Structure 1
Amino acid sequence: RCPLKESNMVSRYRKEFLELEKIGVGEFGSVYKCIKRLDGCVYAIKRSKRPLAGSSDEQLALREVYAHAVLGHHPHVVRYYSAWAEDDHMIIQNEYCNGGSLQDMLLENAKLGQYLPETELKEILLQVSMGLKYIHNSGLVHLDIKPSNIFICHKMAVAGPAGQEESDSEDEFSSGVVYKIGDLGHVTSITNPQVEEGDRRFLANEILQEQYCYLPKADIFALALTVALAAGTAPLPHNGAMWHHIREGNIPPIPQKLPHLFLELLKLMIHPDPVERPSASALIKHPVLSPSREKAVQLQKQLNVEKCKTAMLERELKAARLAETLMKDQTLGSAKLQESETSSKQNSKRLVGGKSCRSVSFTLGY
């Protein structure tokens, strides 16, 4: 790995991007909403703290870049575009999520005394599980799943050719919101882990015990607590009796009524034994979540069927109109032909009559 070094080059950041506003501050540094001058698109630019070279922050920065390089593109992972070092700062160009973070949403809800409803909690659990499945199948673990690292994209609807609204999102979800996993600074390999502990409030006990046999299950543990916070549970403790109580397999109190099966699933996700926790793949197929997903998929299928029916009817109507036009042309042509034949016969009769020999009598004398 090459350490970051100070550069005297003209700032690429200032040259290529127009900074609009600061939209976040975190462990890594600050995040800015920027417009790229070349394409006019909006991006989220992460700029690391100073000094970076040789520090632990440098390792987090490089780890995030390497993780993005391995993962590529997935609809439930914040998209990575580019990264470079500049004046002892690491700068990362990522996808801009127009809905902010889940943490931002929860803070707003707390001010209003509101909680996310069951349907939305299931959407979060389902979609983040999809992102985790992709990360885990790529041989990596996130190790810092929490509300501030889950980002929200509101699906943009554009007018279709027939005035219909079409979504530009790659997935169809009933809520109209796509949840994405971001901040990959703690990502590490499953088979050769170099664990940098994330937020203690969301940390599974086995990670603290340096038991790394079931690293993906630590992400499942953190996801359950993230959903509990979205459901309205009180802020999680950093340590103490309640911290240990949670790690004994107890979901912290949730101030809204949720189905028993849903609560049991969350409880299973924080089971003290990581082996007992479901995998991300199992969560996606879980009966508690699949009806929501199946409904969205079924509605999309029905819509596709209706579109096919409409297209077929349009083709049949077009064919019928074409056939009608051909029949009219044929009828008209036939009528003209018949009229022509009738006229021809009449002319022929007159012509025959003109050539008829009249009776002539000749008297021959001998």
Structure 2
Amino acid sequence: MVAFGESGKLSEFKNLTLIGKGSFGKVYRAVRLSDNIEYALKELDMRPMQQREREDCVNEVRILASSTCNPYIVRYFDAFMEGESLWIVTELARGGDMDAKVKRHQKRGEYMPEDMIWNFFIQICQGLKHLHSANILHRDIKAPNIFITGPRSVKIGDMGVAKCTRSGMARTQIGTPYYMSPELWRNLPYDQKSDIWSLGVLIYEFAALKHPFQAQNERQLYERVMRGAYPPIPRCYSPELANVIRMMLTQDASKRPTTDELLALPAVQKHLESAETAMEDMIFNKECLVGTIQVPRILTHLRNRLPGSKYEHDSRDIGENGPVPTSRSSEGRTKRRKDRGSVIKSMDEGLIRRSKSEALEALNSEFFSKKHDSLLQRNRSEVSVLPKIPYNMAKNAEIVRIRRDDVLGRLPPIPTAGSRYSRQELRAFHDRRRPW
């Protein structure tokens, strides 16, 4: 269960719904109160983590906060600490991830359209180009980390193991085995070409609905990756798509193409016209790269080192004279408190007016019921001597008696002091007899 802090940023959200779960974290969808927009909130419990794992979590914040201007990377909005948990706020991918989409196609037994695969390939390639231009290696390109944000729109996410290198080379062996490049298996230094290998495995999976290198265990997988032989993609796809996959799955990393070379291929250029992509030359602005965030020993001190929020606007904070201070300022809080007070006051006034009118109707009904009771008592005594009473009065008294008996027949009997009723029966009796 999510615990809301009294003054923490988590209290700025409502309707938290769990949509994903991992070894150290959970992912929720929630609505932000100030703009009524749904976001994805990733909770990372940093207490059981080792120092290296904590640095990876903070590194994800750093990479995401530095890539907010790219349309092919999941957008970052905020990061904050609640207790000893790190929360990362990003855009919500309503379509889920590509892993779920591949499994749906497997279940239905149908392949993805080729134009859709080209579309996804171009967008992922542009996202990688953006990262590689700043010497950032994603290091975990796979289907679960590609998120669907539209009918044919995807974005790269989950930068938990991404690494910003100075020389463009890395040495740490990390990644998902099915997507790991040969140089990673050999525990050799690797660079951006390792991400290209993972992209080749991913596009093959989109086409064949399975991994190119199938194995029963890790040793067998290592041998098949080193051998580099894989089954061809289904014949329903063009030779151009098979050729691009072959180029990315080249054993020699130096012979693999870069993202720029992939996007410049004639086959890719042919599909750029119909693809739903914004083919803009987006070079990573290294000045916008968030600096290294040091993880303190006391996790609560991390809140002062996280980058600031990057929300576009706050619809509640736009008044007649332009935007007003956001929820972090005292002026903004005072303004919204007054607005909520006026709204609540108007609601209370309306409720009071309705209550008065209902109470008045109840009093009137009670008054007339008492009047009818007295009239019935008087008429019953007079009806016994009909010869002394005109025919009209007797007839009117009979009508009043019938109507009154009809009303009394619909109500439960009044409990007497000697009768035994349970608490629920008494409550039901009072609820039924109340006129409002």
For Structure 1 versus Structure 2, the TM-score category normalised by the shorter chain is: 0.5 to 0.7
Question: In structure 2, what is the Cα distance between the partners aligned to 1:26 and 1:79?
Answer: 21
Question: In structure 1, what is the Cα distance between the partners aligned to 2:21 and 2:276?
Answer: 37
Is 1:190 the equivalent of 2:165?
yes
Deviations 1:155-195 (A, max 9, x none): xxxxxxxxxxxxxxxxxxxxx52110000011112325473
What letter is aligned with 1:180? Answer: K
Is 1:284 the equivalent of 2:280?
no
Deviations 1:288-346 (A, max 9, x none): 22111134589x9xxxxxxxxxxxxxxxxxxxxxxxxxxxxxxxxxxxxxxxxxxxxxx
Is 1:89 the equivalent of 2:68?
no
1:105 corresponds in structure 2 to 101
Q: 1:249 aligns with which of 180, 203, 228?
A: 228
Is 1:229 the equivalent of 2:225?
no
Q: 1:47 aligns with which of 43, 50, 53?
A: 43
Alignment of 1:306-345 (within 5 A): none
Q: Is the 1:251–1:267 Cα contact (8 Å) retained in structure 2?
A: no
> How much has 1:200 moved relative to structure 2?
1.3
- What do you get for the CA RMSD once the two structures are aligned? 2.6
What letter is aligned with 1:51? Answer: R
Q: 1:258 aligns with which of 212, 215, 237?
A: 237
What is the DSSP-based 3-state SS (H/G/I as helix, E as strand, rest coil) of the residue aligned with 2:148?
strand
Question: In structure 2, what is the Cα distance between the partners aligned to 1:257 and 1:56?
Answer: 45
Alignment of 1:127-138 (within 5 A): 127-138=123-134
Question: In structure 2, what is the Cα distance between the partners aligned to 1:256 and 1:29?
Answer: 41
Q: Does the C-alpha gap of structure 1 residues 9 and 261 become closer, same or farther in structure 2, counting only changes over 3 Å?
A: closer
Q: Is the 1:141–1:189 Cα contact (8 Å) retained in structure 2?
A: yes
Q: Is the 2:228–2:251 Cα contact (8 Å) retained in structure 1?
A: yes
Is 1:31 the equivalent of 2:27?
yes
Q: Is the 2:98–2:148 Cα contact (8 Å) retained in structure 1?
A: yes
Q: Is the 1:233–1:255 Cα contact (8 Å) retained in structure 2?
A: no
Q: 2:76 aligns with which of 73, 77, 80?
A: 80
Q: 1:119 aligns with which of 111, 115, 134?
A: 115
Q: Is the 1:61–1:185 Cα contact (8 Å) retained in structure 2?
A: yes
Q: Is the 2:148–2:154 Cα contact (8 Å) retained in structure 1?
A: yes
Q: 2:181 aligns with which of 184, 188, 204?
A: 204
What letter is aligned with 1:81? Answer: F
Q: Is the 1:143–1:187 Cα contact (8 Å) retained in structure 2?
A: yes
Q: Is the 1:232–1:256 Cα contact (8 Å) retained in structure 2?
A: no
Q: Is the 1:204–1:218 Cα contact (8 Å) retained in structure 2?
A: yes
Q: Where does structure 2 lack aligned partners over 5 or more consecutive residues?
A: 280-436
Q: TM-score, normalized by length of structure 2?
A: 0.57
Q: Where does structure 1 lack aligned partners over 5 or more consecutive residues?
A: 1-6, 155-175, 301-366
Q: Is the 2:43–2:86 Cα contact (8 Å) retained in structure 1?
A: yes
Q: Is the 1:141–1:216 Cα contact (8 Å) retained in structure 2?
A: yes
1:180 corresponds in structure 2 to 155
Q: Is the 2:141–2:179 Cα contact (8 Å) retained in structure 1?
A: yes
Q: Is the 1:34–1:44 Cα contact (8 Å) retained in structure 2?
A: yes
Question: In structure 2, what is the Cα distance between the partners aligned to 1:30 and 1:191?
Answer: 32
Question: In structure 1, what is the Cα distance between the partners aligned to 2:23 and 2:256?
Answer: 29
Question: In structure 1, what is the Cα distance between the partners aligned to 2:24 and 2:197?
Answer: 23
> How much has 1:25 moved relative to structure 2?
2.2
Q: TM-score, normalized by length of structure 1?
A: 0.68
> How much has 1:243 moved relative to structure 2?
4.2
Identity %: 27
Is 1:70 the equivalent of 2:66?
yes
> How much has 1:116 moved relative to structure 2?
1.1
Q: Is the 1:129–1:284 Cα contact (8 Å) retained in structure 2?
A: yes
What is the DSSP-based 3-state SS (H/G/I as helix, E as strand, rest coil) of the residue aligned with 1:40?
coil
Q: Is the 1:248–1:271 Cα contact (8 Å) retained in structure 2?
A: no
User: Where in structure 1 do 4 or more consecutive aligned residues deviate above 6 Å?
Assistant: none
> How much has 1:63 moved relative to structure 2?
1.3
